[in-house]
Amino acid sequence: MFATVAIVGAGPAGLLLARMLHNAGIDSIVLEHRDRAYVEHRQRAGMLEQGTVDALRACGAAERLDREGLVHHGIELRFDHQSHHLDFPALTGGRSVMIYAQTEIVKDLVALQLAEGGPLLFEAEAIAIEDDMLTFVRDGVEEKLGFDFVVGCDGFHGISRAAIPDARVYERDYPYSWLGILADVPPSCEELIYAHSDRGFALHSMRSPTVSRLYLQVPNDTDPDDWPDDRIWDELDARFAVDADWKLMRGPITQKAVTPMRSFVTEPMRHGRLFLAGDAAHIVPPTGAKGLNLAIADVVTLAKALQHWFTTGSPDLLNTYSDTCLRRVWRAEHFSYFMTTLLHRAPDQTPFDTRLQLSQLHRIADSRHAAAELAENYAGLP
């Protein structure tokens, strides 16, 4: 078997890259370890920056997104029992974000790929990447795939990263996790609410006009079974408490899971014919919802570089790929770290630390400059 570009992983990064290459007339094969239902139902953040929406539109993958996506013009910060609205268009020169679940992006891209793209092989696990050959296992049988280029879009637990020799790794774990729920209840807010409280962080997000997504900061190694539904709603009520006429609507909880928080970057993102994109190369804590947007920005940069190589023979953009991506990645790493440490309560938090957090939150509420800095990073730098 041979593909001009071999793509490992059918998450948003691998699927969008395959789509963009297909549109540019470059053939590829996508190998995915899991089955289709698994990749289409994995819950992840669904906040799309303008650049992400533009990329999906440009490759003809935004038809449903444009019908069902919810445009958000800001977020709400809640602290000291007060709420503060950040108006993104006013603070960023007109930018907004879109809420559209990552599961739906994956479903849309899988459907397009199967209808008109190159091969997308589910339950095909890549096990080794060599110079110009990839080995994978399907139905218990080892197969070989030759390539001109191979792209590791295989997420944090994939194998591609290990094929970059002498990589430098930068990482940080956080002393708390998120307990995330999906509930069949209309969102109790029009915008996402990021809440700082003495009891820890809480986030109110949404998936659709009838499905809410909410998160609670919990200790690492929390067992979701220790959190019956009533305990979750009571804790959310306590953390979102505000001196205003506002009520959190409750409904049946349909999913419950605990996710750890991590910052991670590997450098460089390229070795010879191997390129890394998305979670394979970097992880951010979810507080700024940057993971998906970074993954998409990587593959947009890479698709352009590959297209440039195949049309002009110039390796210039391939050579600058890693540096171009890492510049954006580190900005998002800083922002995600900032949002995380601003809003969460560390296990060893002192009253001094809390005062600093509140001072910074008040600064964002009171100063247009401080608010604009947050809004620009959140809505996405061009």
What are the residue numbers of the active site? 72, 194, 286, 290, 378
Distance CA 184, CA 303 (A): 38
Exactly one of 69, 187, 278, 288 binds ligand APR (CB under 6 A); that residue is 278
Q: Which is nearer to ligand APR, 37 or 115 (CB)?
A: 37
Question: What does 289 interact with, of ligand PHB, ligand APR, none (CB < 5 to 8 A by kind)?
Answer: ligand PHB
Please confirm whether the linkage preceding 12 is cis (ω < 30° from 0).
no
Report helix, strand or coil for 209.
coil
DSSP conformation class of 161: G
Euclidean distance between CA atoms 215 and 182, whole angstroms:
9
Asked whether position 39 contacts ligand APR by CB under 6 A, the answer is yes
Task: Tell me the C-alpha to C-alpha distance, in Å, between residue 371 and each of 15, 310, 377.
Answer: 35, 43, 10
- 36 or 84: CB nearest ligand APR: 36
> DSSP code of 254?
E
CB-based contact 230:237 (threshold 8 Å): no
Residue 330: what residue type? W
Residues 268, 314: contact at Cβ < 8 Å?
Answer: no
According to CB under 6 A, which residues from 139 to 178 bind ligand APR? 153-155, 157-159
Residue 12 binds ligand APR, judged by CB under 6 A: yes
Choose the one of ligand APR, ligand PHB, none that binds residue 10, judging by a C-beta under 5 to 8 angstroms depending on kind.
ligand APR
Residues 215-254 as x/- pattern, contact with ligand APR by CB under 6 A: ----------------------------------------
Number of chain residues interacting with ligand APR (CB under 6 A): 28
**Cα dihedral: 327, 331, 337, 340 (round 10):** -140
* Comparison of 289 and 318: residue with beta carbon closer to ligand PHB: 289
Q: Which is nearer to ligand APR, 11 or 380 (CB)?
A: 11
Of ligand APR, ligand PHB, none, which one sits near residue 205, judging by CB under 5 to 8 A according to partner kind? ligand PHB
| CB nearer ligand APR, residue 10 or residue 318 | 10
The answer to whether the Cα torsion of 257, 260, 263, 269 is positive or negative is negative
| DSSP assignment letter at 159 | S
Shortest Å, Cβ 106 to ligand APR = 8
- Token pair of 278 as six digits: 């998305």
* Shortest CB 125 distance to ligand APR, Å: 5
- Is the separation of the CB atoms in 299 and 153 below 8 Å? yes
Q: Of ligand APR, ligand PHB, none, which one sits near residue 295, judging by CB under 5 to 8 A according to partner kind?
A: ligand APR
Q: How far is the CB of 27 from ligand PHB (least distance, A)?
A: 34
Give the residues lining the site for ligand PHB (CB under 6 A). Answer: 45-47, 192, 203, 205, 213, 286-289
Least distance from ligand PHB to the Cβ atom of residue 66, Å: 19
Q: Which of residues 283-312 bind ligand APR (CB under 6 A)?
A: 291-292, 295
10 binds ligand APR (CB under 6 A): yes
DSSP SS3 for 241: coil
DSSP result, 122-179: SSEEEEEE-SSEEEEEETTEEEEEEEEEEEE---TT-SGGGGSTT-EEEEEEEEEEEE
Q: Which is nearer to ligand PHB, 21 or 47 (CB)?
A: 47
Measuring CA to CA, which residue among 339, 227, 223, 221 is closest to residue 286?
339
| Residue 11, contacted partner among ligand PHB, ligand APR, none, CB below 5-8 A by kind | ligand APR
Q: Residue 165: how many CB atoms within 10 A of its CB?
A: 7
Task: Give the Cα separation of 317 and 97 in Å (integer).
Answer: 28
Which residues sit at the interface with ligand APR, rule CB under 6 A?
Answer: 8-14, 31-34, 39, 44-45, 102, 125-126, 153-155, 157-159, 278-279, 291-292, 295
